[in-house]
Structure formats: structure tokens, C-alpha cells
Amino acid sequence: MRVKLRRRRFGQLAVVSAVAAAFGNLTKNTFAQTNPKRPTPSGQTFESAGSVEVKLRVNGASQALTIEPRVTLLDALRERIGLTGSKKGCDHGQCGACTVLVDGRRVLSCLTLAVTCEGTDVMTIEGLARGNDLHPMQAAFVKHDGFQCGYCTPGQICSAIAVLNEAKNGEASYVTTDVRQKPRAVQLTDDEIKERMSGNICRCGAYPNIVAAIREVHTDKAQAQTWQFAGENETAIFDVPEMKKETGEAAA
Ligand code: FES
Ligand code: FES
């Protein structure tokens, strides 16, 4: 019996050690992949024999990188260039948080190899504003409160900008009713906006406000803001009969 227990404990220890070693290697490899020239905390460097020189143009500035061919555009932006606006939500092409523009078209940077972007113009959320002047889409997101935690917002905004270009170019979506219509530019209804933005997930559920923001920029017509800061609508809240009842005003 004791022998059996010892064997079992030995087996458990072996499994734990194997998992720890695998995790260590994974961490080391991830570090090596994204930081080939930086030393690890133990002083080891990862200048891989397979590293290649890549020149990217990001937000109008040239960036020369030495990276392994398997490094994604997202990791190159965040870990090598230091542009952390694009977010890593799922790293599997399912959430849209990493969306950036490459030559004006939206791409999921977590599924795009950085080496394939040589010679292109990459635009991230950091490159949209002109000094203190926000891009119209950024301003509309602020006006319509198109975010809560903001994690998905850089990807949402880049996607939204691309959606407007796609509509202008007459590119049909799954819900476009007449793909032969003339003039070719697609009018973005709310259904069109929702369908075209469906690859960008917002766990905070800011969807109605995101749609309002995109609608405003697309139509170039001011849309009514549907939210107010606390306090601005205090009177309105206390005008609600139920609230009056609760505060005893109705009886007075
Ligand atoms: S991080 Fe790229 S799609 Fe989620
Ligand atoms: S604002 Fe929080 S995930 Fe979209």
C-alpha cells in the first residue's frame, strides 16, 4: 500500500514537473519571439538565426525591426514598437480588439504576420488624431459614449473607419438588399452597421452607442445624444411619477 502511495506521489510530482517545464519553455519562447534582442531576466538573449529585417511604415513613421517571421503584426506593434493601443483580446481572430488598418483596409493584427506588411501603410488607433483634433470617428464615439471599459474601442474605431470606406466603395455585406444598386455607394442602415461591425465584440455591451456614433459620421448629420452626465438629468428623474411616489412627493 505504502509503495503504491509513493508511486502515485512520484507520478504526481513527475506530472507537475513536466507541466512546469513546459510552461517555462512556453514563457521563454514567447519572450524570444517578441523580444529577440532583449535579455531575459537571467541575462540570456534571443537573437534567433531565423530573424529577418523588416521595414514597416506605422502611422506615417518608418520602423526597422529584426524579428522572427512568425511574429504577428499585433506583437510587433505592441512588444517591439511600443504602440499598445491595439489590444490583444483573444489572439485567435475572434474578438476584433486588435483591428488595425493596412493600406486603409481593416485587418486582424493577431492573425497577420508582420513580415507580410512590409511596404504597406499600417494605421493604428494612435495615428488617427491630428494633435489635439480627434478623428471624426473618435469624436463621435466620445459624444455617443460608445465605450465603457474601452478595451475593445481601438479595434471598434479602426473597424468603423474601414466600414465607411467599404460602404463608399460599394462593397456589399450579408444584409445588403440590392447588390446591383446605382450609385454604388452603400447606404449604411443600422442593420448594415451591425452586420459590418459584427466581428468586433464589446463585452461591456456598448453596441447601441457604437451604432449611433457610426451613423452620425456616415450621414454627417448630428444625432441626438442619448446619455447625460449624472446630475444633468436630475430634475427629469424626479419628475417620474414612480420616483415621486418613493420620495413621498406624490402624496403631498
Ligand atoms: S485579439 Fe485579434 S481578434 Fe481577438
Ligand atoms: S467597452 Fe468594454 S469591451 Fe467594449
Higher per-residue confidence, 174 vs 224? 174
Domain boundaries, given as residue ranges, for the chain: 52-127, 136-219
Contact call for residues 156 and 141 (beta carbons, < 8 A): yes
Ligand nearest to the CA of 202: 2
Position 64 pLDDT exceeds 60? yes
Fold of the CATH domain 52-127: Ubiquitin-like (UB roll) (3.10.20)
Q: Is 36 in the pocket of ligand 1 (CB under 6 A)?
A: no
How many Cα atoms occupy the beta-carbon half-sphere of 23 within 13 Å? 6
pLDDT at 21: 46
Instruction: Tell me the average pLDDT of the chain.
Output: 82
Q: Which ligand is nearest to the CA of 91?
A: 1
- For residue range 129-158, list pLDDT tens digits in order: 999 999 999 999 999 999 999 999 999 999
Residue 110 alpha carbon, nearest atom of ligand 1: 2
Tell me how far apart the alpha carbons of residues 31 and 39 are, in angstroms, rounded to a whole number.
Answer: 9
The answer to whether 37 and 66 are in contact (CB under 8 A) is yes
Q: Which CATH superfamily is domain 136-219 in?
A: [2Fe-2S]-binding domain (1.10.150.120)
Distances (CA, A) of 112 to 64, 78, 118, 207: 18, 14, 12, 26
Which of 79, 84, 91 to probe ligand 1 with, by most ligand atoms within 8 A of CB?
A: 91
Per-residue pLDDT band at 186 (split at 50, 70, 90): confident
pTM (2 decimals)? 0.75
Type and span of the H or E element at 202: none
